[in-house]
Amino acid sequence: MIDWLLAGARWGEGDLVWTTDPLLVGGAALVALVAWAVALLGGWRAVRSPPLRLLESALWAVALGALVVGIAGPEIVEEDGREELGKLVVLVDGSGSMGVSDGASVRSTAAMEVLETLRGAQDPMDVYTFDETVRAGAPERFEGRGTDLGAALDVIADRHLGQELRGVVVLSDGLDRGPLRREVAAAAEQGTLSASAVPVLPGPVTFIQTGEAEALFDVSVEHVTSGGFAFLRTAVALQAEVRGPPGRAVPVTLSRDGRTVREETVTLDADGRADVEFTVIPRQVGRFAWEVSVPVEVGDAVPGNNVYPVVVRVVRERTRVLQVSGSPSYDQKFLRLFLKEDPSVDLVSFFILRTREDFRSGWQQNEMSLIEFPYQRLFTEDLSTFDLVILQNFNYRPYFSYGRDDLLLNIADYVRAGGALVMTGGDRSFDLGEYARTPISEVLPVELGVTGVKTDESPFRPKLTASGAVHPLTRLGATADETESIWQRLPAMDGTNLSLGLTPGSAALLEHPGLVTDSGPLPILAVREVAEGRTMALAVDASWRWSFSEAAEGRGNQAYLRFWKNALRWLVADPDYRRVVVFPSRENVLLGDEMRLTVRVRDAGYGPVEGAEVVGSIESPDGVRTPIALTTDAAGEGIFAYRPEMRGAHRVSVGTGNRAADRGSTVFAVSNRDPELADIQPDTTFLRQLAALYGERGRFVAPGAELDLLVDESARRSVPDRRVVSLAGAPFLALLFGGLGGLAWVIRRRNGGV
């Protein structure tokens, strides 16, 4: 009865704690005091017996006091403790390597079977999953991308500090990707292995290996070394390392774009390894994906590591330039000297040439010092070996004796196929060189066909256009203002070739300050993208003067050098420097990981295009296309997020139109080669070494062996017991308030009160 009245509290045991805010309790006490005073004084003259009135007041005081005590929230807190059997802690490896099949069994299945056996026989028991992190509970999936056993043992040691564990059980294949495995192996090799290499645990530890090395069958391409980039038209070696059962003959295939490039058969050595080297010669610049693969056989433990895709970026080691001049001049001399002194340029130059007229004048070949001009070979079989062709004040008619139209068409086709062409001014160039209505005129950025006077010999200073202020070719300073200042102080030109204006799709970077055409100011420097190639027209033949002007002011010849360096870079640029460019955030992506594709759009003058509608697609190896649609921001860029679901080379194509200049492309490789699965051979040695480092408190259990745990049955742990009993709702207080209050009311009524 007393336990019921006190809600189970035991007086004399535990501490009395008040849980309500003192301010609230004080307010309740004040209200109770006012109520008591009203009850005491109210109707005092009408009472019949003052002693009964005093008794009523006393009863009200006690009842209201009980109410205030209840509001104060009293609790009895009893602190106690007890000893129990020490816990068994089980660490289960949840990494991806535990999902490997060793013959007829999967490592994760074997681990869960052991865990179920322990659950039925060991109590109490705590289970933790460890991979790159440690978390409570058994693994739901074995997909961890790392294994840090040392960190897991440290967590257990810290979490149970000061306790005695009955034992620690580690279920793992021993493939630790953290530092512990490397440190133990290095110390063992140096003969310095000691118990200090492992964390001190509060109980004995048993290492149970899952996975049998003898039952494992796996053939894989372990690694491909490519260097990440290669040089155009230069042989590059792709070196692959193959792994598998010793003595096995394995065919290894190199493929690109789904087509087999080469195949070699290697025999694995006694360690189950072999190296194979493939040599390829890139013919284009850009990003290209190759794959090295071995066949997937029945029972292969990890089919995903049988293919190793790699993206190689092909760049130019040297820019091969053909310079053809109609006659020696200062302009030809300065440009030739610049090209020869640039170590990144491989120059072939012709500028003192024999013409048909030389032979018609009666001179014999052995009587002339002029060099022979092999124009037919240059503009047929050799043309494709050049990155850039410069026609510097060159008139073709005196030299092209045979197949003139075909040779000019070859040059135009060379440009459309990705080549670059420059034409500079002079008395043998543009319309003065009779290029109007030839195939060359179809690829130039200026329109030819001027009738009458074809030049203007008035001195002038070229004016930088809005496009020229942002275009990489004419950017001579670090900022737009500095670039403008440099162009303004360069010397005047002494004349220019005339044209009919810009051709469609071209941009003027420099223009004449006074002369105009039907389409606008006369272009002096113009550029154009033609299909896959680029062209530049410089309508003057005195750019060499820019060198002297800067030198006179003590700045050297930097303006001249920067201009022609910029021109070379832009003219022979790889796909990353086109007007529409798409960049992958990573060239080699893991299956399922999110990546980003950044699209950059520039106009003909290379200014950013805001609000450009970009469409395209990502084509996976099976031909499925994922559409891309985005709008560029103020910087002319847009980002598309993508999560690949299939391994292999993925090709990206985007654009703002149908012209080649309005489109960009790239490639990235996707593999399911999880780093966690790079090495899947169970490490028995490592687990045995760990058990040995713990001495008598360590044990190793091999796969399939009897489940014999090392435990300490004398281990005990202290379990705190805290008992809290709330008196606020105890029947005692309710009865005290209700009973005394009711009795006070009865007395009041009998004593004449109201």
pLDDT in tens, 42-71: 655 555 566 766 676 676 666 667 666 666
| 348-388 confidence digits (pLDDT tens) | 988 765 555 544 555 455 444 445 667 888 898 889 889 99
Looking at residue 39, its pLDDT comes to 65
Residue bearing the bigger pLDDT, 234 or 175: 175
Neighbour-count burial for 305-338, b at 16+ CB within 10 Å, e otherwise: bbbbbbbbbbebebbbbbbbbbeebebbebbbeb
pLDDT band at residue 427, thresholds of 50, 70 and 90?
Answer: very high
In this predicted structure, the answer to whether residue 309 has a pLDDT above a threshold of 60 is yes
Query: Residue 411 gets which letter from DSSP?
Result: H
Of the ranges 45-49, 188-192, 647-651, which one carries the lowest mean pLDDT score? 45-49
User: Is 555 a residue whose pLDDT tops 60?
Assistant: no
Question: For the chain, what is the total number of helices (H) and then of strands (E)?
Answer: 16, 37
Kindly state the tokens that stand for 746. 């009865």
DSSP secondary structure letter of residue 751: T
Q: Is the peptide bond before 462 cis (omega within 30 degrees of 0)?
A: no
Per residue in 311-339, pLDDT (tens digit) is 888 877 778 899 998 888 899 999 999 89
CA–CA distance, 13 with 305 (Å, rounded to integer)? 68
Query: Which of 352-366, 642-656, 717-731 is least confident?
Result: 352-366
Average pLDDT estimate for 270-280: 89
Burial class for 668, CB neighbours closer than 10 Å (0-12, 13-18, 19+): buried
More confidently predicted of 297 and 506: 506
Alpha carbons 77 and 116: distance in angstroms, whole number: 39
Q: Is residue 271 helix, strand or coil?
A: coil
Residues 532-558 have a mean pLDDT of 78
Q: Is 490 left (phi over 0), alpha (psi -120 to 50) or beta?
A: beta
User: Is a pLDDT exceeding 90 seen at residue 461?
Assistant: yes
Interval 150-168 mean pLDDT: 91
Q: In the chain, what percentage of residues exceed pLDDT 70?
A: 80
Nearest-10 crossing angle of helices 179-190, 684-693: 80
Q: Average the pLDDT over each of 71-75, 200-204, 604-608, 634-638 and give the range with the smallest value.
A: 71-75
Does the CA dihedral 669-674-679-681 come out positive or negative? negative
Residue (of 355, 332, 335, 331) closest to 345 by Cα position: 335
| Nearest by Cα to 93 from 44, 46, 149, 43 | 149
Residue 288 is predicted with a pLDDT of 83
Which residue from 583, 590, 595, 599 is spatially nearest to 648, judged by alpha carbons? 590
SS3 per residue for 425-477: CCCCCHHHHCCCCCHHHHCCCECCCCCCCCEECCCECCEECHHHHHCCCCCCC
SS3 664: strand
Asked whether the CA dihedral 178, 180, 182, 183 is positive or negative, the reply is positive
Tell me which residue has tokens 């796969």. Answer: 703
Q: CA separation (Å) from 25 to 28, 69, 90, 684?
A: 5, 8, 50, 68
Mean pLDDT over residues 578-589, rounded?
84
Q: How far apart are CA 397 and CA 375, in angstroms?
A: 12
437 band by pLDDT with thresholds 50, 70 and 90: very high
Most confident of 208-222, 401-415, 740-754: 401-415
- pLDDT exceeds 50 at position 532: yes
Domains of the chain with CATH codes: 2-81+723-750 (no CATH), 87-211+682-714 (3.40.50.410), 217-310 (2.60.40.10), 319-573 (3.40.50.880), 576-675 (2.60.40.1930)
CA distances, 276 to each of 220, 242, 262, 526, 743 (Å): 13, 8, 11, 50, 104
**Mean predicted confidence (pLDDT) in 453-482:** 89
- Look up residue 464 and give its amino acid: L
C-alpha closest to that of 414 among 322, 325, 490, 496: 322
CA end-to-end distance (rounded Å), the chain? 36
- Name the pLDDT band for 690 (thresholds 50, 70, 90): very high
Cβ neighbours of 155 (radius 10 Å)? 18
Q: Is residue 671 within 8 Å of residue 649, measured between CB atoms?
A: no
Confidence of residue 9 (pLDDT cuts 50, 70, 90): low
